Structure 1
Amino acid sequence: MTPAFTRVLGSGFVTGEHCIKNDALSKICETSDEWIRERTGIEQRYFVEEGTTTSDLGVRAARKALEDAKVSADEIDYIVFATMTPDYYFPGCGSLLQTKLGIANVPALDIRQQCSGFIYGLQVCDALIRAGISKRLLFVGAEIHSGFMPWSKKAFDLITGKSQEAITPEEHARNTQFRDRTSLFGDAGGALVLGPTDDPERGLLGFVLHSDGSKAESLYVPAAGFAYRPYVNQGQVDEARYVPSMDGRTVFKMAVSKMPEAVNEVCQKVGATVDDIRMLIAHQANLRINEAVQKSLKLPDERVYNNIQRYGNTTAATIPIAYDECRKSGKVKAGDLVCFVGLGAGFHWGAALMRE
């Protein structure tokens, strides 16, 4: 018998080991706490210790979610892993996480939808469970963005407090070229354990997803791809073309228009209204974007959750982290209608509704 809905059985998240305040970044580039807060709302972010991988963060988050769900790793029959910062170009992180958790040879699927990875992945998980393919599914979103940072080891040691030795003026000036992007991101992982429910009052209710590749180069990494031969070369490294390239105005315009549209669309699809939403959990890319989305939807502060101030943009991990905090703090209660919404590179965007 096909289950009525997919429900969350457990959740958990972890961050990188090093908490980096805005003032620390001013040691390695021309920026300040005020400059970053005004533009993004971010106060701090976390970076991993060198050698920690995305799959490592995924494992740590997964263990917390499994413990919360009271589900053992050997009960998991499917893994979905969302990330844009995998340990390797290939293979993906799903099978690496599977081995590190000691899970038997169950399917491990990797998806690449960047900042909308959680929304897209959640629909995939829902489809797998509703089709009866999975009974206990582990869904992980994890990222290590510190690999994008064009900083020397000396700069990392300076911001993490391992050293007080200043970088050169030349390196400081070079780092400043990328401050609009390097100040945005953090390292973290979030995880959900999902399973079927026959309770028509609880679970995932519906999704709307969209893509538009016509503006893809407004937010992309212009290196290390098979548009080049070889796919990575010294010139790309020297020019730091592995750092994401972003047209901030286009991204902002897309986000503040497409995200409210998606929320309204998914509400209409399931026969609800925006006023029925008890908690809106948006992807945490920029606090100014989320404030504009909230204003467009006319939702009061108590029905919108933001935590970008503490973690920065952690891409596929932002929504599961925020959901875990809401769930465990009581901001989301049984019976509440929760809406997830996000937009990311591609462009991909969408929204999902869930009855807690």
Structure 2
Amino acid sequence: MTLHSVVRGAGHRLPDRVVHNSEFEARLDTSDDWIRSRSGIERRHFAAEGEYTSDLALAAARAALADAGLGPDDIDAVIVATSTPDFTFPAVATLVQGRLGMTRGFAYDVQAVCAGFVYALANADALIRGGLARRVLVIGAETFSRIMDWTDRSTCVLFGDGAGALVLEGIEGDAARGILAVDLQSDGRQAGILHVDGGVSSTQTAGHLRMQGKEVFRHAVEKLAATATTVLERTGATAGDVDWLVPHQANLRIIRGTAAKMGLPMERVVVTVQDHGNTSAASIPLALSVAHADGRLKPGDLVLTEAIGGGLAWGSVLLRW
């Protein structure tokens, strides 16, 4: 029996606190105009004190399950993409599994920073195709506000917190639906241009995010367009066939540059960065869930997702909604 992975449901969760650009003006040499012109970001959400990555992931999971019309015990596996877990261990995914009340199955985390959700989707698809799971809850969840250096205006204004989730289900038959192709890449030689300067083994601290913005931008547009082209070629599709590009929501200039390189008009790009900031591994599932909820994503639409993050790690997934 050959199975392929289709999307059954989508959901998301954003913290209640909304932080507008103006909040940074009092303590940093920055302005709303400066932030908007360089990133396209107008606002983002920050988790409250005592609100953790697993809380956001759990709420997004429940929303995705409700959208799919499924319960916790209909799920065989939970995969959470995150770089900001509650604890060193256990995994956020196991915390979600327990709080959902799942009585079977397995759960684990994936860490590929902003590309994490693409990697998690690839993992889920492989589990389904390999017969290890029939339904997988795939979540991207982050609380990047916890690793910001609030004196560094080049980074702290860019990131936000949130979570998004999809329910993938293995079905037989119509192979033109669901996940059609995946491309994953990484280059550890570029690890220094986007990293966190702390960790359990090195400093015994969480550390702060550090980024060489110009270098990241240069790599991002080139590599995102390349991985998107690769995944399209694997199916014989072209950019003209894509109904929606749903990119990692890091920076509006990167999104526009990638779309232009692919020859896609911005009218066919889902953009949420203005409202959420860069939510790392949560950004793609957040954008998918928002576009699903507002009716932009329709059954049968060809959807291309792509992301790049620290590592460097990048990749893309082509799917039929």
Return the alpha-carbon distance in structure 1 between the equivalents of residues 149 and 39 of structure 2.
20
The RMSD of aligned alpha carbons is 1.3
Aligned to 1:341, what secondary structure does the other structure show?
A: strand
Residue 323 (1) aligns with residue 295 (2): no
Return the alpha-carbon distance in structure 2 between the equivalents of residues 100 and 25 of structure 1.
35
| Gap regions ≥5 residues in structure 1 | 152-174, 234-240
Aligned partner of 2:177 in structure 1 is 202
Aligned partner of 1:44 in structure 2 is 43
- Matched ranges for 1:97-246 at <5 A: 97-150=96-149, 175=151, 178-198=152-172, 199-226=174-201, 228=202, 231-232=203-204, 242-246=207-211
Return the alpha-carbon distance in structure 2 between the equivalents of residues 37 and 128 of structure 1.
41
Aligned partner of 1:282 in structure 2 is 247
Residue 312 (1) aligns with residue 284 (2): no
Aligned partner of 2:20 in structure 1 is 21
TM-score (norm 1): 0.87
Return the alpha-carbon distance in structure 1 between the equivalents of residues 297 and 239 of structure 2.
16
| Identical amino acids, percent of aligned pairs | 42
**Equivalent residue letter for 1:222:** D
Return the alpha-carbon distance in structure 2 between the equivalents of residues 143 and 110 of structure 1.
12
How big is each residue's C-alpha offset from its partner over 1:6-33, in whole Å with a ceiling of 9 and x where there is no partner? Answer: 0010000011120000001112222111
For residue 332 of structure 1, report the CA deviation from its aligned partner.
1.9
Residue 32 (1) aligns with residue 31 (2): yes
The answer to whether the 8 Å contact 1:255/1:289 transfers is: yes
How big is each residue's C-alpha offset from its partner over 1:260-282, in whole Å with a ceiling of 9 and x where there is no partner? Answer: 01111111111111111110010
Return the alpha-carbon distance in structure 2 between the equivalents of residues 336 and 224 of structure 1.
41
Aligned to 2:307, what secondary structure does the other structure show?
A: strand
Aligned partner of 1:238 in structure 2 is none
The answer to whether the 8 Å contact 2:80/2:109 transfers is: yes
TM-score (norm 2): 0.97
For residue 105 of structure 1, report the CA deviation from its aligned partner.
3.9
Q: Number of aligned pairs?
A: 320
For residue 330 of structure 1, report the CA deviation from its aligned partner.
2.4
**Equivalent residue letter for 1:331:** R
The structure with the larger Rg is 1
| Gap regions ≥5 residues in structure 2 | none
Aligned to 2:283, what secondary structure does the other structure show?
A: helix
How big is each residue's C-alpha offset from its partner over 1:274-303, in whole Å with a ceiling of 9 and x where there is no partner? Answer: 111110010011111111101111111221
How big is each residue's C-alpha offset from its partner over 1:52-98, in whole Å with a ceiling of 9 and x where there is no partner? Answer: 11001000100100000000012111111110000012222111111
Return the alpha-carbon distance in structure 2 between the equivalents of residues 224 and 204 of structure 1.
34
